[in-house]
């Protein structure tokens, strides 16, 4: 069966973009058609300036939101990255296969590092090596497919390169993964800046709808979305990005095609109202389920404990094989030592 792996980074509250572009598809499709793992990648949250208590809180929240979004621990594996040592173990080995030039070429690193330096801050070494840890996340599980947004494609390609290189040098060890981009509504854009994606890492913003926003907050944000100058409602991504984003969100929530949906409207106001209601409805069951899970923290903890155990058992043999292939001396098992005595 196809092995699927994806991760959510607990650096901010999850957004409508995370839900429509990723989590919804994981729940509706991926967990049914494949052997899937979904991971709260908390080690990745330490690559930038962070507050320990906040990372802890967001990690717990991300895990319950994955479950609230419909991931079923009977069908897939939901766990927290730092609960499974194999990620860090494999990351080091892959650092010995990657080059520093390769790391410095990563677009996301270049952008984030530049921003950090502009603010006079320093860049953590782990920000540079982040893509190697991500490659370890993926390769440890023999992953075939990695459903991610377009901004992560370069990182998945690096994982491919490292897998191929390792296999050539040290013998076949890793499955070579590929990125798959979600089909519909892969890119929900910021309601205030339709040129940039509705990412959770953007601090706060009236242009970002969080999955846990109260219905009235959702309505306010949608009603205040920037639209473009011009009056008729048409779907034109290049010329009318703000409007196109609203139509795409509506299409993602209700089904249908953005261009066809546009025909039903002759004013922005009516469209925005419908978009707002559609978003509120899509998020309603998720919010409700999240509340129930918050009232039952023992359940979520149990899921994460079982998930980590399952994940460990899956990753262990591959990571051990990589250790042996690259030349590390296998530890002698206790039973053998005892037998020799
Ligand atoms: N880098 C991804 C992001 O920022 C998160 C991530 C970490 C990930 N490890 C992963 C995604 C492995 C897919 C597979 O969104």
Each residue's pLDDT tens digit, 56-74: 999 999 999 999 999 999 9
The question of whether 112 is a catalytic residue gets the answer yes
Tokens of residue 137, six digits: 């996340």
Query: Would you state the pLDDT for residue 13?
Result: 92
pLDDT single digits (tens) 131-141: 999 999 999 99
Q: Which of 9, 110, 178, 200 is catalytic?
A: 200
Ramachandran category for residue 185: left, alpha or beta (phi over 0 → left; psi -120 to 50 → alpha): left
> Quick one: which of 17, 23, 28 has its CA closest to 209?
17
Question: Measured from the CA of 130, which atom of ligand 1 is nearest?
Answer: 1
pLDDT of residue 205: 79
CA of 6 relative to ligand 1 center, distance in Å: 6
Residue 303 · residue 73 · CB < 8 Å: yes
Catalytic-role residue among 9, 112, 221, 272: 112
Pocket probe for ligand 1: among 25, 39, 47, 77, the residue whose CB has the most ligand atoms within 8 Å is: 39
Q: How far apart are CA 251 and CA 45, in angstroms?
A: 32
Distance in Å, CA 153 to ligand 1 centroid:
10
Please say if 178 is a catalytic residue. no
Look over the chain and give the mean of its residue pLDDT values, rounded to a whole number: 93
Cβ density class 102-141: b for 16+ within 10 Å, e for less: ebeebeebeebbeebeeeeeebbeebbbbbbbbbbbbbbb
pLDDT of residue 214: 96
Residues enclosing ligand 1, CB less than 6 A?
5-7, 9, 41, 44, 134, 137-138, 146, 148, 152, 155
Which pLDDT does position 187 carry in this prediction? 76
Low-confidence ranges of the chain (pLDDT < 70): 183-186, 200-204, 334-341
Per-residue pLDDT reduced to its tens digit, 312-335: 999 999 999 999 999 999 998 766
Q: Indicate if 197 belongs to the active site.
A: yes
């Amino acid at each position: 069966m196809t092995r699927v792996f994806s991760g959510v980074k607990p650096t901010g509250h999850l957004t409508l973009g995370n839900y429509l572009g990723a989590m919804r598809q994981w729940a509706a499709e991926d967990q049914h058609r494949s052997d899937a793992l979904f991971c709260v990648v908390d080690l990745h949250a330490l690559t930038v300036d962070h507050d320990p208590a906040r990372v802890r809180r967001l990690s717990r929240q991300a895990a319950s939101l994955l479950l609230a979004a419909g991931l079923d621990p009977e069908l897939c594996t939901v766990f927290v990255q730092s609960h499974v040592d194999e990620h860090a173990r494999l990351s080091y080995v892959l650092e010995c296969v990657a080059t520093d030039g390769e790391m410095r070429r990563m677009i996301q690193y270049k952008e984030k590092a530049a921003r950090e330096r502009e603010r006079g801050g320093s860049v953590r070494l782990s920000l540079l090596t982040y893509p190697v840890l991500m490659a370890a996340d993926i390769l440890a599980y023999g992953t075939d497919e990695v459903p991610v947004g377009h901004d992560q494609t370069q990182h998945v390609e690096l994982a491919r390169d490292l897998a191929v290189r390792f296999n050539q040098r040290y013998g076949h060890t890793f499955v070579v993964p590929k990125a798959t981009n979600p089909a519909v509504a892969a890119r929900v854009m910021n309601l205030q800046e339709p040129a940039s994606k509705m990412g959770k890492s953007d601090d706060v913003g009236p242009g970002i709808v969080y999955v846990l926003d109260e219905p009235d907050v959702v309505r306010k944000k949608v009603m205040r979305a920037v639209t473009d100058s011009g009056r008729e409602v048409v779907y034109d991504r290049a010329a009318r990005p703000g409007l196109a984003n609203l139509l795409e969100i509506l299409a993602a929530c209700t089904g249908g095609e953005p261009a066809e949906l546009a025909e039903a409207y002759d004013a922005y106001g009516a469209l925005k109202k419908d978009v707002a209601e559609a978003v509120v409805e899509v998020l309603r069951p998720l919010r409700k389920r999240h509340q129930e899970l918050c009232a039952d923290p023992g359940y979520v903890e149990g899921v994460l404990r079982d998930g980590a155990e399952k994940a460990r058992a899956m990753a262990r043999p591959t990571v051990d094989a990589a250790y042996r292939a690259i030349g590390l001396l296998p530890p002698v098992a206790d039973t053998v030592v005892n037998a020799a005595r």
